[in-house]
Amino acid sequence: MNSRRKSLIPTAAIAILLLVAAAPAGAQISRPGPGVKSNVPVMSVVGQAKWEAVRSLHKGGAQALSPSQPQDCVNGNPTVDPISCGSTTNGQLTNADCFLTDNSYYDVYSFPGTAGQQVTMTMTSSAFDTYLFLIDPSGSNDVAQDDDSGGGTNSQIVFTLTQTGTWFIVANAFDPNVFGSYSVVLTCTGGGGGACTPNATTLCLNNGRYRVTVTFSTPAGQSGNGMAVTETSDTGMFWFFSANNIEIIIKVVTGCSFNSRVWVFAGGLTNVAYTITVTDTVTGVSKTYSNPQGTPSQPVQDTDAFVCS
C-alpha cells in the first residue's frame, strides 16, 4: 500500500453513499453521464479523508481546504455503476461528476463479493493521478485506499474480503479539478464471488463459484436431471436412477499456478447419453461435456476449461 494514505472516511458520510441503488451487474461498462438518485448529497464520501492527506502530502504543497464546509455533488448523488470480476470498466471524470472537499472528482462502482475472496482493483489513467478507495458492505469502513501502487501515478488495491455482500469502489483523482478518461480493472480469486446455490440437482464446486448440472436420457426414452451429491468443496457426484447407483463423479480444481486455468475432471460409470454443464458464476462462461447414447463414458480431463480471474 502506498504511504500516502488518507485518513478514515467518516461513517455517516459512507452511509449516505449506500442510499444510492446499484445497477445490475455487467461485464463491461462505458459510463454515461452521472445521474441524480436523490436530493440527499453524498458530499464527502471520502472528503475528510482526502482533506487530511492533501493537506500534508499533496504533490503541489498544502492547500487551504475546509473540511468543516464540504462541497456537495454537482448534480446530487452519483450513479453507482456495477463492475464485475474479470472485467475492465472505462470511465471518465468530468465536471458533472461529484467532488470532494479538495475539489477532486470521483465515480462510484459496486460489485458482489464473498468473504475470503481476494480482489485486485487497478485504476489507470494517462490524464491524471488516480486514487482508489474500497468501502465495505456495511458502509461503516474505508477498508483500503491507494495512490500510486499501480505503477507511476496509477492506483492498485489488493484486499481479501472480510464479509459477503456488495462492496464499493470509489475511483477518484488525487489532484483537484482534473478530468479525463480512466480504466478500472477488477479481478477476483478464491472465495467464490458468483451466484451458485446448491440444490438437489446442482453442485457448487471450487469454493462455490462453479455451478454443475447434468441431464441424461436412456434408449427407452427416459430422461431427467442428475441428482447431486456433494463430496468436498471441489468434488461431487450424480446419480440418475437410485441414490446407491452413482453414474458420474466430477471435480473442478484450480490450476492457476500451473497454466492460469481452472481444470475440470469427470468420469462416468454409464453408457447412457448425458450432458454435463459447468458454469463460472462470476463470468457467466459455460462448458459442456457430453456422452453419446450407447457409448461407454470417456473421462474428461479438461485442463483448459476456464481462465483464472
Predicted pLDDT at 86: 74
Q: For the chain, list the domains and their CATH numbers.
A: 11-189 (2.60.120.380), 203-307 (no CATH)
Q: 25-39, 41-55, 227-241, 244-258: which has the minimum mean pLDDT?
A: 25-39
Instruction: Give CA–CA dist 107/34, Å, rounded.
Output: 9
**Which residues lie across from 254 on neighbouring strands?**
262
Share of the chain above pLDDT 70, in %: 71
Higher pLDDT, 96 or 31: 96
What is the pTM (predicted TM-score) of this model? 0.48
Q: Which residue has the higher pLDDT, 196 or 38?
A: 196
Q: Which residue has the cell 475492465?
A: 88
Q: How confident is the model at residue 139 (pLDDT cuts 50, 70, 90)?
A: low
pLDDT in tens, 234-291: 999 999 999 999 999 999 998 888 898 999 999 999 999 999 999 988 888 899 999 9
What residues does 146 pair with on adjacent strands? 132
Do 202 and 211 touch, CB atoms closer than 8 A? yes
CA distances from 265 to 35, 82, 268 (A): 47, 33, 11
Distance CA 88, CA 64 (A): 36
**12 membership: H or E segment, kind and range:** helix 11-17
Tell me the pLDDT band of 142, cut-offs 50, 70 and 90: confident
Mean pLDDT along residues 34-47: 36
